[in-house]
Amino acid sequence: MSITRVGLIGTGIMGAPMALNLIKAGFEVSVHSRTKSKAQPVLDAGGQWCDTPRAVAERVGVVITIVPDSPDVEAVYLSNDGVCAGMGAGSIAVDMSTIAPETARKIDTEALDRGGEVLDAPVSGGKTGAEAGTLAIMVGGEAATLDRARPVLEAVGKTIVHCGPSGAGQLTKLCNQIICGLNLLAVSEAMVFAKRVGLDPATMLKVVSSGAAGSWAVDNLGTRMERRDFAPMFMIDLQQKDLGIALRSAFDTHVPLPGTALVHQLLTANQAAGEGREGTQALVKTLERFARML
């Protein structure tokens, strides 16, 4: 049976454009968010409001959740008015938040006890990917569940990969964040160096983006650094949360991550400067302060 009704919980920077893409794809979309005003663009486009996560889950065949952190996911899923309480046999929940792998497994167990199925499916691509419907989606859980949910995920993402059992999506996302963090640092260092030695940063970015140094971070973060545009595609506070999960997981498995730890500490300096809600590209300001350029 094809899925026609989809729910989305969490209409923030990522969730709102994802919900709009689901509506554009022809799904009947029900939404819930802690702050109803953030869901208004979705409601204006034809989305239906639900007062609780449970009400969303009761109404739809697939519910997507994308909220900030592990405690938020537990509250959305495990409270009396949570998603699990509204799931029935055959219903699917897809959590696209970035959370601890053990939290993903806990939610999966609870949903299975109620006859539902859960995929942990964190995403990469930021605000631009969410708006364009081109997110990379890293999926943990049963392959058969993914097959059923795939038509829904194709409305919000371009690359959808089954990474393994429950928790594998989150572990893959941690690898993604490790790479993103170090790319962010590389671009920030290049920008500060270019300005100090008298280069035009925009010209430098144009040239290196076409060569071996080209990357998503150069194209999307470097250009924003050059324009001094620090509005968040992805907030420093959220990146810090993700890197903290990665570092804790690495500690538990005795994996040294020296580069990741350095980026985490440098972004802490941004947070200390009151920049935690700015985009991750604001890391360049920490390096500028070190170089006495800001």
**pLDDT the model gives residue 132:** 97
Residue 172: strand pairing partners: none
**pLDDT the model gives residue 88:** 86
Q: 173 an active-site residue? A: yes
Count Cβ atoms below 10 Å from residue 175 Cβ, excluding itself: 12
- Per-residue pLDDT at 46 exceeds 80: yes
Give the domain range for residue 133.
Answer: 5-165
Count Cβ atoms below 10 Å from residue 139 Cβ, excluding itself: 26
Q: What are phi and psi of 137, to 5 degrees?
A: -120, 120
- Per-residue pLDDT at 179 exceeds 90: yes
Q: Look at residues 165, 180, 213 and tell me which one is the last residue of a structural domain.
A: 165
Angle between helices 201-208 and 168-196 (to 10 degrees): 130
User: Quick one: 125 exposed, middle or buried, by C-beta within 10 A (0-12, 13-18, 19+)?
Assistant: buried
Rounded CA separation 92/94 (Å): 7
Average of per-residue pLDDT values in the chain: 96
Q: Tokens standing for 149?
A: 């949910």
Identify whether residues 182 and 154 lie together within a single domain.
no
Return the DSSP state at 235: B
- Per-residue pLDDT at 1 exceeds 80: no
Structural domains counted in the chain: 2
Instruction: With beta carbons less than 8 A apart as the criterion, state whether 149 and 143 touch.
Output: no
* Set 173, 206, 241, 285: catalytic member: 173
Q: Which of 24-33, 111-120, 245-254 has the lowest mean pLDDT?
A: 111-120
CB-based burial, 26-50: b 16+ in 10 Å, e otherwise: ebbbbbbbeeeebbeebbeeebeeb
Q: What is the pLDDT of residues 260-287, one digit of tens each?
A: 999 999 999 999 999 999 999 999 999 9
Q: What is the pLDDT of residues 15-25, one digit of tens each?
A: 999 999 999 99
Q: Can you tell me which residue has the tokens 């691509």?
A: 125
CATH code, 110: 3.40.50.720
**pLDDT the model gives residue 110:** 87
Q: What is the pLDDT of residues 213-248, one digit of tens each?
A: 999 999 999 999 999 999 999 999 999 999 999 999
CATH code, 230: 1.10.1040.10
Q: Give CA separation, 54 vs 48, 68, 290, in Å.
A: 14, 19, 49
Q: What is the pLDDT of residues 115-134, one digit of tens each?
A: 899 999 999 999 999 999 99
